[in-house]
Amino acid sequence: MPTRSATAHTRLTTPRQRAAWLLLALAVLTVLLTALGASVGSTGFDSVLRLADDPMAARIVWDIRLPRSLGAWLAGALLGLSGAVAQGLFRNPLAEPFLLGSASGASLGVASALALFGVAPATAWLAKLGLTGAAFVGAVVAVLLTLQLARGVQHTLRLLLAGVIVGVVLGAIKDLITLASPDIIAAMQGFNLGSAGFIGWASCVLMLLAWCVCMAGAWVFSRALDGLSLGESTAASLGLPLVPMRVALVAVLALSTGTAVAQTGLIAFVGLAAPHLVRSMVKVTHAWLVLLASLMGGVLLLGADVLARWVIAPQELPVGVLTAVLGGGYLLWLMHRRTGQGGVL
């Protein structure tokens, strides 16, 4: 009887079942945090309590808080997904979504738009394109420069070094533009600190479409990530077409990161910490990892956004600062624990 009990228990705790339970837990947390996010704001819970009787309260909840909460989750999901792809692509658990220079490119795009058209532009073209469009274009251009400098995606180390170089150079150009136009410093600071406060329903739809495309691409090419985790020679011996798969994964990484950064600004540690949290709970292949890391990233950023609005209400903290503090603290703890056990990240 004890043997049968132990066998039954083992069957109930297989990696796939643990992954399914984690998926369910993250889905429940998403629903709860979204409801909480729609209830928390500068007016506290008053708008929710007066939702049925006050048209202004209903507008605050449905047109401001709810899209902000869903947008924060979607941006975090995109960053968590891109973090899992980056760590698998570069075979480095410390890889993060901004390695290809997309963050510096997005910052340069925003700085250029602000310097050219002013902090409060009146031109119809910029009003239509917006700073989010400038940030996305900058992120894509940065990734294309990285690919050009690395001469493709054949060599992972060259791609990584090219991303670092492009990020440093574009960051320096952005600093020069900021120094030449000091009136944009405050706006650039808001972008660099990150915020979900300007996300509306249109942004949510855009990020949802990008998430569906990127998740489908990452899932289709998850076998390549599994092969790369064993080494490039092993992956090649398995008959995997590494070059086209790398191209597709870099496209997923660029699209997911660029879309998130364009909507929320620079938010640190979500893409780095989300895959680590998932791997600390379950041991799964990349087909599961990219999905779970994406959901974990959404929960992390949504939770951080709710805290940012709640801690010093009616004012709020920059969510990027909060994720940096919490994510950095978690990674320091993880590094200390692994070092004490004689392991590495």
What is the structure's pLDDT at 342? 58
Per-residue pLDDT reduced to its tens digit, 19-68: 999 999 999 999 999 999 888 876 666 666 676 677 887 788 888 889 99
Q: How far apart are CA 59 and CA 66, in angstroms?
A: 10
Q: What angle do CA 248, 250, 256 make, to 5 degrees?
A: 100
Q: How far apart are CA 201 and CA 155, in angstroms?
A: 40
Asked which of 81-85, 140-144, 230-234, 338-342 is least confident by mean pLDDT, the reply is 338-342
Q: Across residues 95-101, what is the average pLDDT?
A: 88
What is the structure's pLDDT at 256? 93
Question: How many C-beta atoms surround the C-beta of residue 87 within 10 A?
Answer: 26
Q: Across residues 197-213, what is the average pLDDT?
A: 92
What is the structure's pLDDT at 123? 46
Most confident of 100-104, 119-123, 315-319: 100-104
pTM strictly above 0.85 = yes
Per-residue pLDDT reduced to its tens digit, 250-295: 899 989 999 999 889 899 889 999 998 999 899 999 999 999 999 9
What is the structure's pLDDT at 340? 61
CB contact at 8 A, 85 and 245:
no
Q: Which two tokens stand for residue 41?
A: 């704001």
At 318, the amino acid letter reads P
| CA distance to 51, 54, 69, 202, per residue, from 62 (Å) | 9, 12, 10, 13
Torsion sign across C-alpha atoms 302, 307, 313, 317: negative
pLDDT-derived band at 226, boundaries 50, 70, 90: confident
**pLDDT exceeds 50 at position 128:** no
pLDDT-derived band at 124, boundaries 50, 70, 90: very low
